[in-house]
């Protein structure tokens, strides 16, 4: 019981201590600047997706919605793919953050019962990330223009040509106020 009381007291004290320290304004500014670099991906996107696997080829109507969070220091991404019968065939959620000390973008991804933290390599025309897959890796690469988002997924093993298992081509469908809209407000 004593341990439980101490644990609760400690848990309650953490937010107070963090608040007392104040914001790291330099880190916040660096994070906002980094997120501005990927701001063109914000909005609603819709198009086609095709995945190839053990059970053959699956075609999807693929959608993505992307928006800023926490005063522009994070980017949130929701991907949802619909099968021909309208059922959801794929659903993923990710947060993209920037670590100013390491000068590195990170993506925390959650999809289909799997999750992970992956370094996101951002370029002037898109981004990529690798997922370890035993002796190989899975590489996702995206290119982005004002109205087009093209993304591929390849299984990459040393000494072998990449095997493409995923492709999507999306067109910008518009802006979104997600996820900030509908947030908790002061009473």
pLDDT digits (tens, 9 = 90+) for 139-165: 999 999 989 999 999 999 999 999 999
Q: What is the pTM of this model?
A: 0.86
Q: If pLDDT is split at 50, 70 and 90, which confidence band does 12 have?
A: low
Q: Which CATH number fits domain 44-174: 2.40.128.20, 3.30.300.30, 3.30.450.40, 3.20.20.70?
A: 2.40.128.20
Q: φ, ψ for residue 23 (rounded to 5)?
A: -75, 150
Q: What is the pLDDT of residues 51-101, one digit of tens each?
A: 998 889 999 999 999 999 999 999 999 999 999 999 999 999 999 999 999
Ordered by start, the domain boundaries in the chain are: 44-174
Predicted confidence at residue 72, as pLDDT, reads: 96
Quote the distance between the C-alpha of residue 91 and its chain's center: 12
Higher-scoring residue by pLDDT: 56, 9:
56
Q: What is the pLDDT of residues 117-130, one digit of tens each?
A: 999 999 999 999 99
What is the full DSSP assignment across 91-160?
EEEEEEEEETTTTEEEEEEEETTEEEEEEEEE-SSEEEEEEEETTEEEEEEEEE-SSEEEEEEEEE-TTS
Residue 74: which region, alpha, beta or left (left: phi > 0; alpha: psi -120 to 50)?
beta
Q: If pLDDT is split at 50, 70 and 90, which confidence band does 183 have?
A: confident
Residue 86: which of 106, 124, 60 has the closest Cα?
Answer: 60
Q: φ, ψ for residue 39 (rounded to 5)?
A: -55, -30
Predicted confidence at residue 3, as pLDDT, reads: 57
Burial readout 140-170 (b: 16 or more C-beta within 10 A, e: otherwise)? bbbebeeeebebbbbeeeeeeebeeebbbeb
Across the chain, mean pLDDT equals 92
């Amino acid at each position: 019981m004593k341990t439980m009381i101490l644990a609760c007291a400690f848990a309650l004290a953490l937010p107070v201590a963090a608040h007392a320290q104040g914001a790291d304004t330099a880190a916040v500014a660096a994070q906002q600047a980094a997120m501005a670099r990927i701001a063109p991906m914000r909005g609603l996107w819709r198009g086609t997706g095709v995945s190839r696997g053990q059970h053959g080829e699956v075609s999807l109507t693929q959608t993505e919605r992307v928006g800023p969070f926490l005063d522009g220091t994070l980017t949130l991404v929701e991907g949802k793919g619909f099968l021909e019968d309208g059922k959801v065939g794929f659903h993923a959620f990710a947060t993209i953050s920037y670590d100013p000390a390491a000068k590195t973008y990170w993506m925390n991804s959650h999809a289909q019962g799997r999750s992970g933290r992956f370094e996101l390599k951002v370029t002037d025309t898109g981004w990529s990330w690798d997922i370890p897959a035993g002796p190989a890796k899975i590489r996702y690469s995206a290119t982005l223009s004002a109205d087009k988002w093209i993304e591929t997924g390849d299984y990459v093993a040393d000494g072998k040509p990449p095997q493409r298992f995923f492709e999507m081509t999306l067109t910008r469908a518009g802006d979104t106020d997600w996820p900030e809209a509908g947030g908790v407000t002061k009473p």
